[in-house]
Amino acid sequence: MTTMTDPHQGSFRLSMLIYDSRYRSMTIQIVALIGFLTLIGWLISNTAQNLITLGKEPSFGFMLEPAGYDINQRLLDYDSQDSHLRAALIGLLNTLLVAVMGCLAATVIGVVVGVLRLSKNWIVSRLMAVYVEGFRNVPVLLWIVFAMAILIETLPPPNAFRGENPEATMKLGETVAVTNRGIYIPEPLFSRGIGDAHVFGDTSLRFDVSLDLIALASVFIAGLLISGLINRRANATQNATGVRPTVWYWRLAVVVLPTAILLWVLGCHMGYPELKGFNFKGGTHMRNSLIALWAALSLYTAAFIAEIVRAGILAVSKGQTEAANALGIRPNKTMSLVVLPQALRVIIPPLISNYLNLTKNSSLAIAVGYMDITGTLGGITLNQTGRELETLLMLMLCYLIISLTISGVMNWYNESVKLKER
């Protein structure tokens, strides 16, 4: 009997890798891993070999050649003689712009709709249900094209603003022009500005930083810090003497006055859009394509976020609300101070994946002619250079990096709000 329970002593034999259950699973995993890696290696070498046979060795040198095409919406300076790399960067910034604007708008709409859907008001909650079901059950591409079609077909062309009795007029005291090519809004200009700082010289990654804005931001933030200091002193005085000194005008003054003085020194004025030639000139031009894409992506993703928020709120035990009510806390305070903070723990993880979805869905931009990175690097550059493999690899890498960054940031936020277990 003792020989049966004795653990296997002595020599290790190769056959034990298969017949001994202690080693078998590891053997299988290692064999599978080797097979998998071999397959991947073979695929890569096969692709490279075939491309070389076709006379198209993978190379990224084309990225530094002149792009030759123009891009309408550019956040940095760019012209058709800049490199493909620069064009890709302009596209990347456009992608990031619509992704950030989309995530912000989707979160705001989503939270409001999610809360309203739980409202006791029958009409409000039904309306929100219709919105949610309507948006999330239709492909986002259709919403994007639909939004664009509405903008193009219903708004007046710039032509309509011309003449003695124009068919269309500018809105908000002649400052905003709403046309079917986009919305032109006034922009702040500095007549005595201190110029821009050029970063990275003449390379493809160059960009300008407005010193005016930096000066304004630093003065404003300094004002806020001083205001906080005054508040702390007021608190200290109150704690010590029981009388709170009236400081609100001081706090307002240190924030507003220096900023206002700096604005005056820099000669800040508004530049208004004006009809000149074919189009409105001056002001900031928010293109149709951006508005349509932004609206469609935000409304679509907001429908999903609304459901996540609703689920999060319902996950908070009813006892919490009742306890808050028993303490006499008002319903809206209960929501913001008791329910939502606890619901966040349930909301954040699925919210991350919706942010990722929105960012990746922004690659549908070409449907409305928005020049995001798929439109520049993965569209025109791919087409003009014929480098499918290289451009698509770079494109995938860009989206991977954006997505991992979003998840990284949101996971860090999740860490900070999740239940602290001690």
Binding stretches for another protein (CB under 8 A): 35-36, 39-40, 43, 46-47, 50, 53-56, 68-72, 79-81, 149, 152-153, 157-159, 180-181, 276-279, 281, 288-289, 366-367, 369, 371, 375, 379-380, 382-386, 388
Shortest distance, position 371 Cβ to another protein, whole Å = 6
By C-beta, is 168 or 213 nearer to another protein?
Answer: 168
By C-beta, is 185 or 316 nearer to another protein?
Answer: 185
The whole-angstrom separation of Cα 406 and Cα 376 is 22
Shortest distance, position 102 Cβ to another protein, whole Å = 20
The whole-angstrom separation of Cα 37 and Cα 19 is 25
Query: Would you say 395 and 63 are in contact if contact means Cβ atoms under 8 Å apart?
Result: no
Shortest distance, position 155 Cβ to another protein, whole Å = 9
By C-beta, is 251 or 287 nearer to another protein?
Answer: 287
Cα separations in angstroms, 382 against 136, 154, 391, 395? 32, 34, 6, 10
By C-beta, is 133 or 187 nearer to another protein?
Answer: 187
Shortest distance, position 44 Cβ to another protein, whole Å = 11
Shortest distance, position 148 Cβ to another protein, whole Å = 9
Greatest Cα pair distance in the chain: 111
* Pick from 377, 374, 405, 393: nearest CA to 293: 374
Shortest distance, position 236 Cβ to another protein, whole Å = 58
By C-beta, is 105 or 295 nearer to another protein?
Answer: 295
* Pick from 363, 401, 394: nearest CA to 98: 363
Query: CB neighbours (10 Å) of residue 304?
Result: 20
Shortest distance, position 149 Cβ to another protein, whole Å = 8
Shortest distance, position 278 Cβ to another protein, whole Å = 4
By C-beta, is 160 or 340 nearer to another protein?
Answer: 160
By C-beta, is 48 or 229 nearer to another protein?
Answer: 48
By C-beta, is 157 or 186 nearer to another protein?
Answer: 157
